[in-house]
Amino acid sequence: MEEQRALLDERFPEAIEGKKKEESKRLEDLPGVSGPVRMRLAPSPSGPMHIGQSRMAILNDEYVKRYGGTLFLRIEDTNPENIDPDAYDMIPEDLEWLGVEVHETVIQSDRFELYYEYAAKLLEMGHAYICTCPADEWRALKNKGVACPHRDEAPEVQIERWEEMLGGEYGEGEAVYVVKTDLNHPNPAIRDWPAFRIVDRPHPRTGDRYRVYPLMNFSVAVDDHELGLTHVLRGKDHLNNTHRQMYLYEYFGWEKPVYIHYGWVRMKDTVLKTSLIKKGIREGLYTGWDDPRLGTLRALAKRGISPQAIRRYWVEVGLKEVDIEFSWENLYAYNREIVDPVAKRLFFVPNPVEVRVSGSPEMRAAPPLHPSHPEWGAREYTMPPEFSVYVPADEWNALNPGDIIRLKDLCNVRKTANGAEYAGNDLSVLKRGVRIIQWAPAESPPATLVYPDGSEVKGKVEPFTRRCIGEVVQFERIGFARLWDEGGIRAYFAHR
């Protein structure tokens, strides 16, 4: 694929750039930009990235590239119960594939001391407390707008309890660090929120060195400030979190970044949920993170969906707060535009039937590798007299004896009672409505075409296919697919 890309760049730079310019819409300008921007991607390391998550990556990258500045990758691994150690490597790999340029990476589990420092300060200022009530009691009180007994105790007492919490005096669930906001806030989601909790489970990176873990709202706010972010792009599911975090900004007197909340993306028929995928892989339902049925970037890459198409898609979608329906059709259309000019044409014969053609002379077939680029050459096959070919069974069986059909770029044949006979090479029969089908020579290797729904179709591919492993090709009359050698040729279908 990389080679194809290079080829395209070299020979037809205008094919990429020109099109992009005239057809791509420009992303809306970011409000409040004065000078370089500082933005972030903040995935949690629970698995590789999926198409949904690529939105924030692409959009952040687009803006940092437009305005100049710094893009941080911040791995949010403050919940030891939801970490896949492999994700620390998979996420950067996925970002690189997407063409997202990360300037600096920070990992939150390296920064516990920093969070603790701010936590202590906040206690001293009287804006937080350690609560040792049972969780449900505390929550019930809060929902009624009532302070729990610990809320109003003096900062010295709070500090002391905090030290005890850090020192291991409490077990899981026995103490929690809560940030005070406003108990009478009309939105109960905004009222006092927990900022640190105790977890005994070892962390994949820090082991059992820490047991007091910051919750997302605290670590995110501290890091957003520490990294000097100017703009934060986040899903609107974080709207309330933004409100919560604003209290920290107020208490500490920090300058606030510009927040932009974008809507949800509904994705029908696509498995995105990391936990479900993981379960599926474990149980053998999926072949791996790149199973073609999944919405992971790895799965899309395997099928030959290009990162450029994904970028184009998200740029078109933009940053509105409305929820949207993800459109595979639109993504495929963009991908087709990118892949069509570079994909070699090949014949795949699904459910093949072998047909003997009698009465033919020796022939040379040379179907072009690409109809728009004759200079790329052709796939060349010499057909002996009386040759055999594979053709699609359903199309062949639909013919009646005496019917003529054209083998593309080879010759015409007439169906007979038990085979076929040569019927000349006159192209004018096409005007009379003779159909053209693809074919594969007798010595063709088998191949399997794997569809995104997981179904597979067995067939034959012309021998040239062996030389295209790794590439995205177009099987004529079928569609685009990417070729892999997995102990036999397997083609993963992208789209028509």
Partner RNA sequence: GCUCCGGUGGUGUAGCCCGGCCAAGCAUUUCGGCCUUUCGAGCCGACGACCCGGGUUCAAAUCCCGGCCGGAGCACCA
In terms of Cβ atoms closer than 10 Å to its own Cβ (0-12, 13-18, 19+), residue 434 is middle
Stretch that binds RNA, among 56-64, 133-141, 144-152, 301-309 (CB under 7 A): 133-141
- Contact call for residues 312 and 24 (beta carbons, < 8 A): yes
- Token representation of residue 215: 């919750």
Binding window for RNA (CB under 7 A); candidates: 95-103, 121-129, 428-436, 459-467? 428-436
Q: What are phi and psi of 77, to 5 degrees?
A: -115, 50
Assess 239 for contact with RNA (CB under 7 A).
Answer: yes
Q: How far is the CB of 486 from RNA (least distance, A)?
A: 25
What is d(CA 448, CA 75) in angstroms, rounded to the nearest whole number? 39
Q: Are 441 and 463 within 8 A, CB to CB?
A: yes
Q: How far is the CB of 474 from RNA (least distance, A)?
A: 6
Applying the rule CB under 7 A, the residues between 185 and 214 that interact with RNA are 186-190, 194, 197-198, 213-214
Residues written for the chain: 496
- Asked whether position 240 contacts RNA by CB under 7 A, the answer is yes
Nearest to RNA of 1, 378 (CB atom): 378
CA distance 307 to 420: 45
Beta carbon nearer to RNA, 34 or 372: 372
Contact between residue 210 and residue 112 where contact means Cβ atoms under 8 Å apart: yes
436 makes contact with RNA (CB under 7 A): yes
Angle of helix 239-252 relative to helix 112-124, nearest 10 degrees, comes to 60
The span from the CA of 434 to the CA of 436, in Å, is 7
**3-class SS of residue 415:** strand
DSSP classification of residue 376: G
Query: Within positions 408 to 427, which residues make up the interface with RNA, using CB under 7 A?
Result: 408-409, 427
Please state the closest distance from residue 80 (CB atom) to RNA, in A.
9
**Closest distance between RNA and the C-beta of residue 246, in Å?**
13
In the complex with RNA, the residue whose CB is nearer, 291 or 379, is 379
Taking each helix axis as running N to C, give the angle between helix 216-226 and helix 239-252, from 0 to 180 degrees, rounded to the nearest 10: 60
> Using CB under 7 A, which of the segments 58-66, 313-321, 413-421, 449-457 binds RNA?
313-321
270 binding RNA? (CB under 7 A): no
What is the secondary structure of 190-214 as a DSSP string? Answer: TSSEEEEEE--SPBTTTBTS--EEE
Spatial distance between the Cα atoms of 119 and 140, rounded to a whole number of angstroms: 24
The minimum distance between CB 304 and RNA, in angstroms, equals 13
Q: From the list 160, 290, 316, 421, which residue makes contact with RNA (rule: CB under 7 A)?
A: 316
Build a one-symbol-per-residue string for 358-397: x at contacts with RNA by CB under 7 A, - elsewhere. Answer: ------------xxx----------------------x--
Asked if 146 is part of the footprint of RNA (rule: CB under 7 A), the reply reads: no
Per the CB < 8 A criterion, the answer to whether 494 and 309 are in contact is: no
Max distance between CA atoms of the chain, in angstroms, equals: 102
Footprint on residues 34-53 left by RNA (CB under 7 A): 42, 44
CB nearer to RNA: give 123 or 291. Answer: 123
Binding mask 272-311 for RNA (x = CB under 7 A): ----------------------------------------
Give the closest residue to 132 by CA, choosing from 155, 115, 148, 154: 148
Cβ distance 452 to 302 under 8 Å? no
- Single out the residue of 79, 181, 274, 360 in contact with RNA (rule: CB under 7 A): 79
The residue among 320 and 467 lying less far from RNA, judged by its C-beta, is 320
Query: 């998200």: which residue's tokens?
Result: 314
Query: How many residues interact with RNA (rule CB under 7 A)?
Result: 73
- Write each residue from 323 to 362 as x if it is in contact with RNA (CB under 7 A), else as -, in one continuous string: xxx-x-xx--x--xx--xx---x-----------------
Closer to RNA at the Cβ: 186 or 402? 186
